[in-house]
Structure 1
Amino acid sequence: MPELWRLTRNRYGRTAYDALAQLGLTATVMLEYVAPLEDAPVDTESTGAYSVERCEPTQTAVLDAPVEELRPGERVIAALEDGRLRGYCFCSIDAAHEIRPLERTLAFDGAYIRRVFVDPDHRNQGIATAIVAEACRQARERGARCATALVAIDNGPSRRLFERHGFEPRRRRRYVRVGPFSHRSTRAV
């Protein structure tokens, strides 16, 4: 399968995807990954020349983070190198989110980790790994017992990232809409 995720992970691809969706044509397959947080190891060491910490949404403007999507109480976890943003993710606890590709709102028990992004010039340096680890650590501190992430089935890098953190696929969510006709399915993996 072609890596379609690469086409929609930029402003232009997202615009085309949204235009097709408005015309009534959309299809997606996502894996719902879940990991327990009680027994997850706590990595308190800094990795590389950057720190990973909670940051203010305004700090993410340099990477065009979609902060307008943030839910009340949702945190931005960011990797900073000498004060410069290198990557981020959003993490909420016990919240409901509109999942645009599925055209549905889903409620998540525990943490929901989403929008993991690393500046392309700083990828493959362990930054995303550190960001997800810190999001899990903070979620556990806030009382979450598990964490969930939704990943497009063809997004291999994100799937590998979450699998390295002990996330396991639990459900496969499919959605197709052509005009007024739509079909959804959710199956255990």
Structure 2
Amino acid sequence: MPQLWRLTRNRYGRTAYDALARVGLTATVMIEYVATLEGAAFDTDDGSYSVEVCEPARVAPLDAPVDELRPDERVIAALEDGQPRGYCFCSVDTAHEIHPLERTISFDGAYIRRVFVDPDHRNQGLATAVVAEACRRAREQGARRATALVALDNSPSRRLFERHGFDPWRRRRYVRAGPFSHRSTRAV
């Protein structure tokens, strides 16, 4: 299967995807991953970078879609010598409009999204570190679980969450062609 998720991970592909959606053509399959935060250990320190909550402008050089951040959402970034190398967005106990599903979903606990690492810095544990830090901070805010939605064909993100204690919980499908649409949500 072609890795269609890559097309929407930059502003140009996202613009094309959104244009097709505006004329009534869209389809997606997403896996909902869930992890329990109670009692989980989060190790994010390897010494070569720092992981911290930062201002959205700090990750803008990575072409981060900071314009879509909600007021209650935080940016967790991996920084090396002060330069952003990766990030994720995290909120706690909120509802989000999930554009590919054309639906608003309420999340009990943390919702982690937009995990990204600069291609030159991948396979160094940065995605793991930002997700772990997001989970740790969410737990400090009282979250008992964390959720992530990942496109079915986004194998790197699926492996990331599966390796780090997130279990596939539900599969969400959505297709729309003009006025006709179909949704389904099934346990995995």
Deviations 1:4-47 (A, max 9, x none): 1122222222121111111100000000000000021131x522
Instruction: Return the offset for 1:71.
Output: 1.6
Structure 1 contact 117–128 (Cα < 8 Å) conserved: yes
- Offset from partner CA, 1:39-89 (integer Å, 9 cap, x none): 21131x522511111111121111121112112221110000000000110
Q: Match for residue 178 of structure 2?
A: 179
Q: Could you state the TM-score of these two structures normalised by the residue count of structure 1?
A: 0.96
Question: How far apart are the structure 2 equivalents of 1:181 and 1:135?
Answer: 38
Residue 3 of structure 1 corresponds to which residue in structure 2? Answer: 3
The equivalent of 1:73 in structure 2 is 72
Worse-matched range after superposition: 30-39 or 53-62: 53-62
Q: Contact (CA 8 Å) 1:47, 1:130: kept in 2 or not?
A: no
Normalising by structure 2, we get a TM-score of: 0.97
Whole-angstrom distance in 2 between the partners of 1:32 and 1:65 = 22
The amino acid of 1:170's aligned partner reads: W
Match of 2:107 in 1: 108
Moved >2 Å (runs of 4+): none
Between stretches 85-94 and 48-57, larger displacement belongs to 48-57
* CA RMSD between the two structures: 1.0
Partner of 1:58: 57
Q: Equivalent residue for 2:39?
A: 39
Question: In structure 2, how many angstroms separate the alpha carbons of the residues matched to 1:90 and 1:42?
Answer: 17
- 1:100 is matched by which residue type in structure 2? H
Q: Which runs of 5+ in 2 are unaligned?
A: none
The letter of the residue matching 2:106 is A
Match of 1:17 in 2: 17
Q: How many pairs does the alignment contain?
A: 188
Give the share of equivalent positions with the same residue, in percent.
81
Separation of aligned partners in 2, 1:42 and 1:11: 32
